[in-house]
Amino acid sequence: MLREKFGYHDFIVTTAGRLVPWKGMRVLIDVVASIRAKGVPVTLEIIGDGVCKDELIVHVRKLGAEAYVHLRGMVSREELARRITASDAFVLNTAYEGLSHQLLEVMSLGVPIVTTPVGGNIELIKGGETGIFIPYDNEEKIQGALQGLYEEPRSGKVLAERARTTLGMFREDIVIEEFVTLLHTLWKF
């Protein structure tokens, strides 16, 4: 129903974040264009705003990719959740990351995640179990991950289901208990 609302018919890849150089949006656009050129019906939804917006718009036009790469700008939290839910994959191609609240939300929505093993991402995702790790800006690996999810949608569903089940370890009571235990260990009191 959400897919129809947004007019999604292809394999939908969504990303969300600030449009800044270290978020790898340009490479993701190139990957989607490459996959599309090989006959895979893929569409990229980029949600967010930032200093690279105009550069990315020019790049999409230069590739002639306006029909299947969409820069949506900022959207409400509710619309973002609906668009991610209607997607086939979520990609966070980032050079660095703290503890990504965006990935936590995607995990709760049951969408397969492709991301880099940096910062807090390695605390949230177990490569090959709850998501797919790719090196930052590695077009070949990103393309392989997305083509794999396209060709084997069941594997993506399994990753997403496993990711959703791991969310329990991020409950407030569990995190506070672990933090207190850590403090006791560090300060031996």
Per-residue pLDDT tens for 159-189?
999 999 997 766 666 657 766 776 767 787 5
| Domain containing residue 154 | 2-187
Percentage of the chain modeled with pLDDT above 90:
83
Is the model's pLDDT at 150 over the cut of 90? yes
CATH number at residue 76: 3.40.50.2000
Q: Which residue has the tokens 């990753």?
A: 159
> pTM of the prediction?
0.89
Alpha-carbon gap, residue 100 to 124, rounded angstroms: 8
pLDDT score recorded for residue 188: 72
HSE at residue 131, side-chain half, CA atoms within 13 A, is 30
Strand-pair category, 132-133 with 89-92: unpaired
**1-15, 32-46, 135-149, 166-180: which range is least confident on average?**
166-180
pLDDT score recorded for residue 15: 98
Alpha-carbon gap, residue 22 to 42, rounded angstroms: 23
Q: What is the pLDDT of residues 77-132, one digit of tens each?
A: 999 999 999 999 999 999 988 888 899 999 999 999 999 999 999 989 999 999 99
Question: Per the structure block, which two tokens stand in for 169?
Answer: 């370890």
Task: For residue 51, give every residue at least 6 positions away whose Cβ sits within 8 Å of its Cβ, in sequence order, or none.
Answer: 19, 20
Tally the domains of the chain: 1
